[in-house]
Amino acid sequence: MRMHINPASPFARKVRIVAREAGLAPRPEEIETAVSPVAPNADLAGANPLMKIPALTLDDGSTLYDSRVIAEYLDALGGARLFPSSGAQRWAALRLQALCDGILDAAVLTRYECAVRPQPLRWDDWIAGQRRKIDGALAAMAREHGAWGDQFGIGQIAAACALGYLDFRFPDIDWRAAHPGLKTWFARVSERSSMCDTMPPA
Ligand SMILES: N[C@@H](CCC(=O)N[C@@H](CS)C(=O)NCC(=O)O)C(=O)O
């Protein structure tokens, strides 16, 4: 299996962590792939017509995307321990993943707005709108995290990727001051080898 990733991509980090936490051996080969919404990587289109990462190519040549599908596939290969199989636990885990992916959607779009879009075309109201989504989702995450205990399933993996990406690209967002419980939780899970191994570049 070959997986298109980039060390800076938080969505790719999610599936890279899943591959490690699922204990896959061997893990998918990680192919470092550059992406940009204004310079779509045509070489990636065979693996994902949306030209986004992560994208997974299986040994039979078939492909899977996006990160949610790849994560569940890799977990199934590893014995299905990271996605609850049914019932209220499953919906809670999928909802938490959706919440945290939503933080990433807003943060990645903001990153493109600030780092890719030419300065004269930037739109402050739009950036502020994305920031409100991030703040609201962080508050929801903080309300939920007390029930997580020692779990590190798909919802918590997505949460760790969201907080890690905010640290990486938006150090001015002081989520630790607003949510000290998440600060303690993130410090603890950041020690896991899956997290250390997939840390974004300095
Ligand atoms: N919903 C997708 C989002 C993936 C995504 O936005 N990836 C970014 C990198 S972090 C990307 O490939 N951007 C390139 C583009 O937007 O063209 C997933 O969960 O995999």
> Residue 164: inside a domain, yes or no?
yes
Q: How confident is the model at residue 178 (pLDDT cuts 50, 70, 90)?
A: very high
Residue 54 and residue 15 in contact, taking contact as beta carbons nearer than 8 Å: yes
**Judging by DSSP bridges, how do beta strands 63-64 and 29-32 pair with one another?**
unpaired
Q: Report how far ligand 1's centroid is from the alpha carbon of 3 (Å).
A: 14
pLDDT tens sequence across 51-100: 999 999 999 999 999 999 999 999 999 999 999 999 999 999 999 999 99
Question: Does the C-beta of 163 come closer than 6 Å to ligand 1?
Answer: no
Within this chain, do residues 110 and 129 fall inside the same structural domain, yes or no? yes
What CATH number does residue 181 fall under? 1.20.1050.10
The one-letter amino acid code at 20 reads R
Separation of CA 55 from chain center: 13
**Is residue 109 located within the same domain as residue 138?**
yes
**For 133-143, what is each residue's pLDDT tens digit?**
999 999 999 99
Domain that holds residue 69: 2-77
Q: Kindly give the distance from the C-alpha atom of residue 111 to the centroid of ligand 1, in angstroms, as a whole number.
A: 12
Same domain, 60 and 30: yes
Kindly give the distance from the C-alpha atom of residue 53 to the centroid of ligand 1, in angstroms, as a whole number. 5
Please tell me whether residues 94 and 70 are part of one structural domain. Answer: no
- Ligand 1, from 16, 51, 53, 64: best to mutate by most atoms within 8 Å of Cβ? 53
Both 62 and 141 in a single domain? no
State if residue 20 touches ligand 1 by the CB under 6 angstroms criterion.
no
Q: Is the peptide bond before 118 cis (omega within 30 degrees of 0)?
A: no
Of ligand 1's atoms, which has the minimum distance to the CA of residue 10?
A: 10
The Å distance, Cα 35 to ligand 1 centre, comes to 8
The pLDDT, as a whole number, for residue 122 is 94
Cα–Cα dist 201/164, whole Å: 11
Task: Give tens-digit pLDDT for 10-57.
Answer: 999 999 999 999 999 999 999 999 999 999 899 999 999 999 999 999
Query: Beta strand 2-5 with 29-32: parallel, antiparallel or unpaired?
Result: parallel
Sorting pLDDT into bands at 50, 70 and 90, what band is 110? very high
Structure tokens at 199: 């840390």
Which residue's CA is the closest to the ligand 1 atom numbered 2? 66
In this structure, are 32 and 64 located in the same domain? yes
State the total domains in the chain: 2
Query: 185 and 91: one domain?
Result: yes
Please, which residues bridge with residue 55 across strands? 4
| Residue whose CA lies nearest to ligand 1 atom number 6 | 52
Does 200 fall in a domain? no
Please report, rounded to a whole number, the percentage of residues in the chain having pLDDT higher than 70. 100
Looking up residue 13, the CATH number of its domain turns out to be: 3.40.30.10
The verdict on residue 101 lying in a domain is yes
**pLDDT given for residue 202 in this prediction:** 85
Report the 10 Å Cβ neighbour count for 175.
22
Q: Does 148 fall in a domain?
A: yes
C-alpha 190 to ligand 1 mean position (Å): 23
User: What's the CA-to-centroid distance between 71 and ligand 1, angstroms?
Assistant: 14
User: Which amino acid, residue 140?
Assistant: A
Query: Are 68 and 95 in a shared domain?
Result: no
Residue nearest to atom 16 of ligand 1 (CA): 37
CA–chain centroid gap for 41, Å, is: 20
